[in-house]
A and B are shown apart, each in its own frame.
Chain A
């Protein structure tokens, strides 16, 4: 078990290292001078040069990268070019808002997705099943951006139930969380439905029914537990990507999370901030995946994670 954990951590570190190299290279390939952007048209060329030197932007790229990595190892993600604040401080300031929205969206997705999936499986090939499938198809194909605007127009502009860009309170949370939850819930719904259909046709379920066990108990205790593995995987993956900042949705709802921070950084060519947010998202993604892998063993004892090869 410990060996497995080590292997997973090592593989995760390798991925994070890869992300750091890749974003560093990519960020420096974007055309545009961040210093000129920051100082504006009217600053003199000497001033621009001076600031560039102060920030170490005139040094060779390899040297800049080495300084960057050394900093990160010491917990220093650099300083934002735009605000002059430490990058890590800004990220940790914004992260709670992203966690809030991600957790709410996942909770909505789990409850709605599993419920609809089970109902659809139970009433297979009836009008109920078809309605659920249609909703699921709609949910997965509507772009989140568009759905967000639509919900906003209906629930905030027309009926004024919820505020827009109000802050990060409960009422502000509902619309973005629902928008994000819709996509994840459709995937969970489809997985639950197909998994349930497969399990429900198996012999042990027929035996259980023959014994006269209550249908609800069959559904929840006998069948559902066997559907959980793929569902947990998807929930984990969705959680990981949501925690990395739902960039578009955060933008649409002016949600002050990691996603809007990253977009802002890209538009203002804030190199350290772009690198910092991307790396942070990468670390979160990798960590959540490791946790999910470990969870399998608890959910289904037949899976022994320690027997698997690292990186599997």
Chain B
């Protein structure tokens, strides 16, 4: 008996060492590949093969007008096409399914000429009437489209006088509508004939006009798309305007992040989507894997309830802005892989004001303390400030993705004598609770392709909804309305510059950071790019072997 007790732990340790030894050598290939020399990139693009993408979520439905799910939009963007595409270099929308377009002088009548020869995967030709039906369906309350109103709400009525001409009559001028029309997935035309034929099953048998055709959906496992041989209407953003080169495109749902990396290493997938900065860093030097990165189209911020007794004082809000060391948060939370947010708009979005880097609040604890002193908050024996016997104490709503950020903020605000209690909820509850205004501070983020997203968060009409800070500022309301109704690019830019200056000055939020997204691509697949906002550019990609 005594003997067994001695040998067993020893054996366990030996076994563990053997196992760990086997395990630790696994991460070696990336390094050894670096030493082996550069990958060949001279090979000619060729047809065939399968591109497999690992993604952590499964779409709810592929009926784009019934979903607000990012996984669905990503797959849907390959199955469908839209009126415009976005050119990040010029920040312009450019023709895709719309050959050309004109906008009337009052900015309220928009006329599009559709490309001819575009056909759906089921052989139905794309006509202006189908586009009209698509949008009317999205706006029909019976469809219960989560994004329909947000995307097309500005449209009063639609005409389709002939197969190629599509006319929107707007309730009021809307710059955002133009942006929405390049949204990669959710403004694509859908064939009502196909929807009628499939009925409730349409969401699992979608029909579009895009480069990839839906093939199959194995629940919990994968979605497979095949090349649309008839695709000839690719846009000018890509070299290959015909059918894609690879035969198949497979999306595999892998929820566990470590499994995702293992699947990439083993060759089971070619692209690992949305990997963490920590994982990404291991592949920076790799010759077998290419790292792709994209600045998120949205930012992360701390919102303050301006109706709160403590936070209604602009001096306190400014002090909070100065006490938060964003640089430390970017380093600590994002491992340095991200940008400091200077204004409520991310630098990737149209309308971002570069001057905000100059005029935003700089980290300055001394100045913050002075502001609080001047506002009448004095430090008590516990190091917490007080005013009229009431402590400078607030609650901060947070969810699991914010754990480290909220803790850092708690520590930083302690420095100026502010007591922060972190309340952890889930994301949907934070949105709900904050919407009702029963909170002090909350961490929040958004993703959008138009600066008018700020209307959702800061226009007084949105109090009770996404205007959590309960901002009621007439000047800001007027600017936001003007910004959403101005189609002239330069003029619009100026309006958003004013908006950003005003929001920063009023310190409703503490803009925190803009995250980066990382994607790992096995060099077996060449030519993969990232689309603006979300999704992959696969039109010029091909499989090497």
Distance in Å: Cβ of A143 to nearest Cβ of chain B? 13
Asked if B263 is at the interface (CB within 8 A of a chain A CB), the reply is yes
Q: CB of A45 within 8 A of chain B?
A: yes
Decide yes or no whether B446 CB sits under 8 A from chain A. yes
Q: Closest CB-CB distance, A20 to chain B, in whole Å?
A: 24
Query: A158 touches which one: B25, B221, B465 (CB < 8 A)?
Result: B25
Residue A15 at the B interface, CB < 8 A? Answer: no
Instruction: Give bound CA distance, A257 to B429, whole Å.
Output: 29
Whether, in the assembled complex, A37 has its beta carbon less than 8 Å from a beta carbon of chain B, the answer is: yes
Nearest residue (CB) in A for B261 is A157
Tell me which of B15, B61, B68, B432 contacts A84 (CB under 8 A): B61
Tell me, yes or no, whether B150 is within 8 Å of chain A by CB.
Answer: yes
Residue of B147, B259, B428 touching A32 (CB-CB under 8 A): B428
The answer to whether the Cβ of A260 comes within 8 Å of any Cβ in the partner chain is yes
Q: Indicate if A23 sits at the interface (CB-CB under 8 A).
A: no
Contacts of A50 in B (CB 8 A): 141, 144
Q: CA separation between A152 and B221, bound complex, in Å?
A: 18
CB of A42 within 8 A of CB of B68, answer yes
Please, what's the 1-or-0 string for B397-432, where 1 marks a CB less than 8 Å from any CB in chain A?
000000000000000000000000000011111011
Q: Which of A11-58 contact B (CB under 8 A)?
A: 31-34, 36-45, 47, 50-51, 54
Residues of A near B435 (CB, < 8 A) are: 45
A38-B60, A42-B456, A165-B254 known; A94 and B259 CB under 8 Å?
no
A7 CB within 8 Å of chain B: no
From the candidates A36, A47, A133, A158, name the one contacting B22 in the complex (CB within 8 A). A158
The residue of chain A having its C-beta at the shortest distance from the C-beta of B267 within the complex is: A160
A164 touches B268 (CB 8 A): yes
Cβ–Cβ contact B68 & A156, under 8 A: no
Task: Give residues of chain A (151-186) contacting chain B, Cβ–Cβ below 8 Å.
Answer: 152-154, 156-158, 160, 163-168
B 241-274 contacts with A by CB, 8 A: 252-256, 258-259, 262-263, 265-269
Evaluate contact between A157 and B266: CB separation under 8 angstroms.
yes
The answer to whether B432 touches A33, judged by C-beta atoms less than 8 angstroms apart, is: yes
Q: Does B464 contact A (CB under 8 A)?
A: yes
Note all chain B residues with C-beta closer than 8 A to A164.
259, 262-263, 266, 268-269
Report if B220 contacts A (CB, 8 A).
yes
Convert B341-376 into 0s and 1s, putting 1 for each residue whose CB lies closer than 8 angstroms to a CB of A. Answer: 000000000000000000000000000000000000
B465 pairs with A167, CB closer than 8 A = no
Interface string of A92-107 (1 = CB under 8 A from B): 0110010000000000
| Chain B residues with CB below 8 A from A31, complex form | 425-426, 429
Is B48 close to A, CB under 8 A?
A: no
Are A42 and B146 touching (Cβ within 8 A)?
yes
Q: Are A263 and B255 in contact (CB under 8 A)?
A: yes
Expressed in whole angstroms, the minimum distance between the Cβ of A311 and any Cβ of chain B is 36
**B144 — which chain A residues lie within 8 A by C-beta?**
47, 50-51, 54
Residues of B within 8 A of A33 (CB): 428-429, 432
Are A130 and B259 neighbours in the complex by a CB distance under 8 Å?
A: no
CA distance A261 to B456 in the complex (A): 34
Are B8 and A134 in contact, CB atoms less than 8 angstroms apart? yes
Q: Assess whether B238 is interfacial by the CB under 8 Å rule.
A: no
Is A269's CB within 8 Å of the partner chain B?
yes
**Are A256 and B218 in touch, CB under 8 angstroms?**
yes
Note all chain A residues with C-beta closer than 8 A to B104: none
Instruction: Tell me, yes or no, whether A205 is within 8 Å of chain B by CB.
Output: no
Contact between chains at B12 and A137 (CB < 8 Å): yes
Q: What's the minimum C-beta distance from A121 to chain B, rounded to whole angstroms?
A: 15
- For residue B200, which residues in chain A have a CB less than 8 angstroms away from its CB? 84
Q: Does A308 contact B (CB under 8 A)?
A: no
Q: Does A83 contact B (CB under 8 A)?
A: yes
B66 neighbours in A (Cβ, 8 Å) = 84
Are B146 and A165 in touch, CB under 8 angstroms? no
Compute the total of residue contacts between A and B using a CB distance below 8 Å.
160
Which of B146, B446, B465 touches A39 (beta carbons < 8 Å)?
Answer: B146
Complex Cα distance A154/B285, Å?
A: 23
Do residues B12 and A149 form an inter-chain contact, with CB atoms below 8 A? no
CB 8 Å contact bits of A245-267 with B (1 = contact, 0 = none): 00000011110110011011000
Determine if B428 and A45 form an interchain contact, defined as CB atoms under 8 angstroms apart: no
Q: Are B203 and A153 touching (Cβ within 8 A)?
A: no
B140 to chain A, nearest CB (A): 13
B8 neighbours in A (Cβ, 8 Å) = 130, 133-134, 137
Asked whether B26 is an interface residue with its Cβ less than 8 Å from the other chain, the reply is yes
CB pair A37–B259 under 8 Å, yes or no, is no
What are the residues of chain B within 8 A of A61 when measuring CB–CB? none
B203 near A38 with CB under 8 A, answer no
Interface positions, chain B 42-71, Cβ under 8 Å from A, are 54, 58, 60-61, 66, 68-69
Shortest CB distance A67–B (Å): 21
B259-A152 in contact (CB<8A)? yes
Cα distance, A134 to B221, chains bound together (Å): 37
- Bound-complex Cα distance A291 to B23 (A): 42
Query: Is A299 at the interface (CB under 8 A from chain B)?
Result: no
Q: Which of B219, B222, B263 contacts A167 (CB 8 A)?
A: B222
Chain B residues whose C-beta falls within 8 Å of the C-beta of A42 in the assembled complex: 68, 146-147, 150, 456, 466
User: A76: CB under 8 A from chain B?
Assistant: no
**Inter-chain contacts of B58 with A (CB < 8 A):** 264
Q: Which of B1-53 contact A (CB under 8 A)?
A: 3-4, 7-8, 11-12, 15, 19, 22-23, 25-26
- What would 16 more interface pairs be, CB under 8 Å, given A130-B4, A133-B8, A256-B221? A31-B425, A36-B428, A42-B456, A42-B466, A43-B68, A43-B146, A43-B150, A54-B144, A84-B61, A130-B7, A138-B12, A153-B23, A157-B262, A165-B252, A166-B268, A254-B255
Q: Which 4 A-B pairs have the closest CB atoms?
A: A256-B220, A40-B68, A39-B146, A164-B263
What are some 22 contacts across the A-B interface (CB < 8 A)?
A: A31-B426, A32-B429, A38-B60, A39-B146, A41-B446, A42-B147, A50-B141, A83-B61, A84-B200, A94-B219, A134-B11, A134-B12, A149-B262, A156-B268, A164-B269, A165-B54, A165-B259, A168-B221, A252-B256, A252-B258, A254-B221, A256-B220
A-side residues, CB < 8 A to B, are: 31-34, 36-45, 47, 50-51, 54, 82-84, 90, 93-94, 97, 130-131, 133-134, 137-138, 149-150, 152-154, 156-158, 160, 163-168, 251-254, 256-257, 260-261, 263-264, 269
